[in-house]
Structure 1
Amino acid sequence: MTRRGDTLFELTDAMLCEDGPVTSPVDLTLLAEHRRGHGAMYDALNQGRIDVGRLRKALAMLPQPKAADGRLVLAVDVSAWLRPDAPTSPDRLFCHVYGRSGRSSDQFIPGWPYSFVAALETDRTSWCQLLDAVRLGPDDDVAEVTAAQVRRVVADLIDGPGLYTQARKLPWADIPLDHRTRDRTHHREELRRLKAAAFRHRDYPGARQAAQTVRWRRQLSTGKLTTERVCVTTSPDVSDATPAQLAAWIRGHWGIENLPHHVRDRTFREDNSTVRTGHLPRTMTGPRNLTISISRQNSDTNITAAPRHTGHDHPRPPTALGLT
């Protein structure tokens, strides 16, 4: 709480100590936990500030509920805070509310929809631990907001106890160079340097080794030089994975970008598509992925020419899917 922190803390303490549901912030000022007056409460709500990023990381550092097999299960849901009697509230949307007597009694009530991410547990209790909440605006795409929200939560969970931060702060300048490669492809020259060191973290007992790779790329046509520095952690020990193997694994991650993503962006022009409403982008992605998968299954190296060949050979798709 970066501004009006004392008042906001007392307001939060009073909210947690309230016996029943909180229907009005003014009622919280009557509790013993809130030692300030009404004016301080309104001033904190209007002028107070909360560092949302630090709050999100603090939630990620708490012990998380897990499934019976030890996995962390995340759930995403959109719930509405109905505000039909607040016409001056900005960015209200018509939220769908299910009726009690069937779909014919469903209603659309003005309110604020919120996207929640929570960690679930598989016990008999229905408790869950909230990790993030984002209010959806009129111009927001639910799929895009949810994807960005989940990526952010996962990144906070991974680096919650400071795994990446500790690996990044290792004395890499004093660690000797372990692996070095130089390539000249795709109209650019690349130099990669990798350093590896034994690594331990109390909250991640499986982390055994950390590596830092530095990439220098120079475009041959323009001479532009870019530098990228990446730190990674891995479970194989120093004796189980050599620096050359680590370098190959790190470069192997780019295969995901070069195979499906590059083909979808460049061959199928997915980024230039004007289909951006609701679930239509996800629906259009399915046929593209199916086409790419069938082409890979048929050992087609040119994905651009593969759909044209399929268009001239109509029995080819059912045969590739095993339908004939």
Structure 2
Amino acid sequence: MSDPLTQIVGLLQPNTSFSKVVIAAGVWAVRRLDDGLPFYCAVLEGSCRLSIAGREPIRLRSGDFVLVPAAYDFVTSSVVPPPAGIEPQIVEMSSGVYRLGSCGDSPDVRMLVGHCAFGSDDANLLVSLLPQLVHVRGERRLMTLVELVNDETRADRPGRDVVLARLLEVLLIEALRSTTGPASPPGLLRGLSDDRLAAALREMHERPAQRWTVVDLAKKAALSRSTFFERFRREVGVAPMEYLLGWRMALAKDLLRRERIGVARVAERVGYGSASAFSVAFSRYVGTPPIYYARAMSLGHVKKQGQSGSVFPARSTFGQDGALKK
């Protein structure tokens, strides 16, 4: 049976942007305004403060790992942050190692921080299925993976890019699966923590070409149609057929991009009875016909998906019977 989380991380195509060691002492703060790049931080020693726009600040301590799949406005600082407008002293001690704050004091924190990038032009759609913030405490496996990423980033070994891509995939999966459970925010991970919903989610991922209806999926979950529909929407954050459509379109774009197969074959593999029906759905969802999308991808002209992060088409809704309503 397919693993939805592994499939989504694989489609994201993570690659490293940078990774560095940060040592800080005294009073300091660094604010970053990023264009939705994934940010991660592993605290190796000591403690610090992380403030993300729209959230309560959290105190990070040794052994903590934080992942923000789409970071825009956040501040890392000393536990007691400095007054606004105070710029920290930043000194590059050696390649990839930076010292912040007071150089004369003993370090209060040592951490590994970095950004990665997602190669998929469907990154916003896929990221919308993940938690906005992952905070894991005391998972040595995660810290080891971050250290390996940092080491590989610094090295110039043969196969570096392939190794980094695989390490980042494992790092993301390990971090994300550490947050599963009913307390996690609505999304794929919370849906997978529900045994009934997980059965339906795995079926959708395993057999996207199946002509699924809400009734069929409810049977896989051993729930009534209405109970399944409401429970899925509550736990995953979108209706079942909206999720299925988003997953099918992500697969279709990947097939058109990487395998360069005909539209009719793609339509068949993602659950459409004809190339014309698939073309209409794809055009409505993506904004361009599949044949033009494939051609643009071959020329490298397709831009990243917009910032909405929506996992369902803006101009369509679904009823409980799974029927598309224009």
TM-score under structure 1 normalisation?
0.27
Structure number with greater Rg is: 1
Relative contact order, higher structure (CA 8 A, sep 6+): 2
TM-score under structure 2 normalisation?
0.27
